[in-house]
Amino acid sequence: MSENKSPEQRSGDPSATPPPAQSGSSQRQLEAEKKRALADAINNILKGIPFIGPYIIIIKLKWGWGGILLFFGGFLVATALIATGFFPDRAVSSRYQSNGSQTNAAPDYELKAQKDILWDAAVQNAKSRIRATGVALSKLDPKLVAERVKAGVAVQLVYVNPCGETVKQRQKDENNPHASMNITSVIRKFGDFTRDFNTSQNQLLQIKRTDTYPTMVVVIIDNDLYTYFCPYGAECSTSPVLVFKGYSGKTPMNPSAAFFEKAVNATCSRATLVTDYSNLCGGASNSSAPPATAPSASPAGSPP
């Protein structure tokens, strides 16, 4: 029996015995572990992508690499459509369309410097109404206003009372000692340009004065509204102008324009009608009012 043993068996060396062959199940388990390690490494890489990393992992787990390719392909196509302006409106929810249109819509007003407003042209083009409240309203030429009244335009202008305490405070606040004098000069001009008015024309023109402190000037000509402000330490003429074109013909009305119109209505309702353009402060001699020859503009610039 010993003669039939192999040389390795006869030597008694256990290392000479070849290892048994691995089973098929062990090989499959090893391959699965390698794949799992690779998948974990890939997931860690995807997870590190800012913002969208966790979502990409979900797509990969649910739809595989094909889902990720479709995701990025759709993203690139949508980006190209948006960039070229061909993205269909129906692809966006109506809720977000309305929010986006409100956010990106052009403002319902213009902001202009006072020098850029063609005040004379605006008055001359008036068709139905001119309303204004302010200090001296020097932007509105009494001669042009009177001409529009003759054409059937209703006019209501409210100036600060040149004989009251309010104008004295305003003169101090805006560093302009000529405010009262300017108001008186402007109002007196209406006496010159309305001498030939008939009864109906006199009814169309209302020149009023108020003791309400002026914080802003509002001018309404037909459907357009202009407003600017009276800052402390400076004349109102230094303020930029908010222009609401066609504000009263819009539904709903711009809430900002409605606010300024309400301010005009409130001031007009409490103002006192001027019945004697030459004697604004009362008394036979009108000694408390500046003389009729007083200049209509202050040295520091045009009044509000």
Sequence letter at residue 196: D
Is 3.30.870.10 the CATH classification of the domain at 110-273?
A: yes
Sequence ranges of the domains in the chain = 24-104, 110-273
Residue with the two structure tokens 């309702």? 269
Q: How far apart are CA 112 and CA 244, in angstroms?
A: 11
Q: What is the mean pLDDT for each group of 10 consecutive residues in the chain (304 residues)?
A: 52 55 69 72 64 63 66 66 62 56 67 95 98 95 98 98 95 92 95 96 97 96 96 91 92 92 96 93 49 37 44
**Residue 28: what pLDDT?**
77
Residue 119, class by beta-carbon neighbours within 10 Å (0-12 exposed, 13-18 middle, 19+ buried)? middle
Residue 210, class by beta-carbon neighbours within 10 Å (0-12 exposed, 13-18 middle, 19+ buried)? buried
**Residue 52: what pLDDT?**
60
Query: Closest Cα to residue 278, out of 204, 194, 190, 219?
Result: 190
φ and ψ at residue 22, rounded to 5 degrees? -65, 145
Q: Which residues pair with 283 in a beta bridge?
A: none
Q: How far apart are CA 157 and CA 274, in angstroms?
A: 10
Residue 159, class by beta-carbon neighbours within 10 Å (0-12 exposed, 13-18 middle, 19+ buried)? buried
* Range list of β-strands (E), the chain: 110-112, 129-133, 154-160, 205-210, 216-221, 224-229, 241-244, 272-273
**Residue 294: what pLDDT?**
37
What's the angle, vertex CA 243, arms to CA 242 and CA 248, rounded to 5?
125
Q: How far apart are CA 171 and CA 183, in angstroms?
A: 12
**Residue 108: what pLDDT?**
85
Residue with the two structure tokens 């001669």? 143
Q: How far apart are CA 38 and CA 76, in angstroms?
A: 28
What's the angle, vertex CA 115, arms to CA 111 and CA 116, rounded to 5?
50
**Residue 88: what pLDDT?**
60
Instruction: Report CA-CA distances (Å) from 84 to 80, 105, 106, 214.
Output: 6, 20, 22, 52
pTM as predicted:
0.61
Contact 224, 246 (CB under 8 A): yes
* Distance in angstroms between the alpha carbons of the first and the last residue of the chain: 132
φ and ψ at residue 182, rounded to 5 degrees? -65, -40
* Range list of β-strands (E), 113-267: 129-133, 154-160, 205-210, 216-221, 224-229, 241-244
What's the angle, vertex CA 239, arms to CA 233 and CA 243, rounded to 5?
155
> Omega of the bond prior to 303 within 30 degrees of 0, cis?
no
